[in-house]
Structure 1
Amino acid sequence: MLAVFAKAIGKPPEELRLPAMGSNNSKTPEEIVQKFQSLWPDSAVYNLPHGNFMALSHEDESPIHPRCIVVLDDIFCIFMGALANIAELRHHYGLPRQATEAMIVIEAYKALRDRAPYPPDQVAKHLDGKFAFIIFDAKTYTLFIARDREGSVKFQWGMARDGSLVCSDDPTIIREGCGQACAAFPPGCIFINGSGLTSFDHPLHKVQAVAHEDDSGNILSVYFQVDLYTKIPSIPRTGSAANWADAVAEVKGE
């Protein structure tokens, strides 16, 4: 699996490039797609608007973590893995028994998009299974990426030479396409362009990059983890919710 999104769309975390400072061994998006096609000749490549790509091959696919790509209502979704609560999710979203995991996460994304304000962490939190997926909404240019809590499915992201975001389950593609400017996509997290990286179990805490250095202080790699000591400021309450909170605080003498 491969997905490449232009910097204007993907907006990858700048920390991804830290291990590659001073080196330029990454490739252009076109070169990365060509490399993927040379490794997986049976792959299907989807050319998305503004030079973005999605590509999928079923070769060497794990039977317990199958890959699929679905396109519905100009929404492209690559899904890898399986959901344990698929029957429950079909019922929740009113989908037929034939609905696949990719169709379900597209429906979940549409609920997020169309029923705002709807917490994006709730979309991934309700998915029980071993999975990673990428959604690209060609109408709104929204990118939504997620990986399960255990990191059960291989999934990495990195930066191409021009700063484009590259995602793949193939370590060779990531290594040759991004050089050192790459990392494992953090388990239990979602990434939405415009919002950044968030933990769906700890949505009010920052997900920060941690650098791994050698004895000389050179950055060898980065990984991302939830900072449970730093909380993201929540949106101030207004209206009746705020009045109720003020009344409770007054009774407590706060």
Structure 2
Amino acid sequence: MLAVCEKSIGKPPEELSLPTVGPQKSRTRTEIAEVFRSARPESTVYSLPGGNLMALSHQDENPLHPRSVVVMDDVFCIFIGNLENISDLRRHYGLSKQTNEAMLVVEVYKVLRDRAPYPSDQVIRDFAGKFAFVLFDARCHMLFAARDRDGGVKFQWGVAGDGSLVCTDDPNIMSEACGRASAQFPPVDWLALIIRFTR
């Protein structure tokens, strides 16, 4: 999984951009897409408005944490992992039994976005399981990323050479894309992370 968004959409935290000792390699959004494609030739890359991108590959997929992608009403979502309470969430939101985790995230996001000014963390408050996801709303130009409380799924973020935010579950891609300007995506304090992305 890979998501790369320009810094005006996904503002990386300043701590990821602090100078480091020694040489640091980092790339632009276009170069990062090429690195991902060359490492995972069967991948699907989605070009988003403003030169942003998301990509998904099933190569080296952990069977306990499958990857899925969905595009619905200009909302793109890549989801890794599984939700233990997906049946309860489907019933609560009136969704069909065919709704997978990525579709559920988009539907829950749209309900909260369109109906009331709920806090962003309400989208994932009731999710139970091991997961990480990145959602990009092309209409609102909003990025939303989250990880389960326990950090059960590998998920990293970093800063590319052009200042773009990079999120991925592949440490090799992160190393190629951002060099030392990367870290594990924090599994705690979701609200702070979401606000940081959307300001």
The corresponding residue for 1:180 is 180
Structure 1-normalised TM-score?
A: 0.74
Unmatched 5+ stretches in structure 1: 198-254
Given residue 79 of structure 2, which amino acid in structure 1 is its aligned partner?
Answer: F
User: 2: CA distance between counterparts of 1:153 and 1:125?
Assistant: 17
What is the CA-CA distance between 1:122 and the residue it aligns to? 1.9
Does the 8 Å CA contact 1:157/1:168 hold for their aligned counterparts? Answer: yes
User: 2: CA distance between counterparts of 1:102 and 1:117?
Assistant: 22
Does the 8 Å CA contact 1:25/1:179 hold for their aligned counterparts? Answer: yes
In terms of fraction of residues, the more strand-rich structure is 1
What is the CA-CA distance between 1:22 and the residue it aligns to? 7.1
Does the 8 Å CA contact 2:24/2:180 hold for their aligned counterparts? Answer: no
5 Å-filtered alignment, 1:243-254, equals none
The corresponding residue for 1:101 is 101
What is the CA-CA distance between 1:188 and the residue it aligns to? 3.1
The corresponding residue for 2:39 is 39
> Are positions 1:155 and 2:155 aligned together?
yes
CA distance change for structure 1 residues 168 and 77 in 2, over 3 Å: closer, same or farther?
Answer: same
The corresponding residue for 1:134 is 134
The corresponding residue for 1:167 is 167
Which has the greater radius of gyration?
Answer: 1
The corresponding residue for 2:48 is 48
Structure with more relative contact order (C-alpha pairs < 8 Å, separation 6 or more): 2
Structure 2-normalised TM-score?
A: 0.94
Given residue 12 of structure 1, which amino acid in structure 2 is its aligned partner?
Answer: P
What is the CA-CA distance between 1:116 and the residue it aligns to? 2.5
> Are positions 1:81 and 2:81 aligned together?
yes
Does the 8 Å CA contact 1:43/1:56 hold for their aligned counterparts? Answer: yes
Percentage identity across paired residues of the two chains: 61
User: 2: CA distance between counterparts of 1:117 and 1:48?
Assistant: 26
Unmatched 5+ stretches in structure 2: none
User: 1: CA distance between counterparts of 2:111 and 2:95?
Assistant: 13
Given residue 102 of structure 1, which amino acid in structure 2 is its aligned partner?
Answer: A
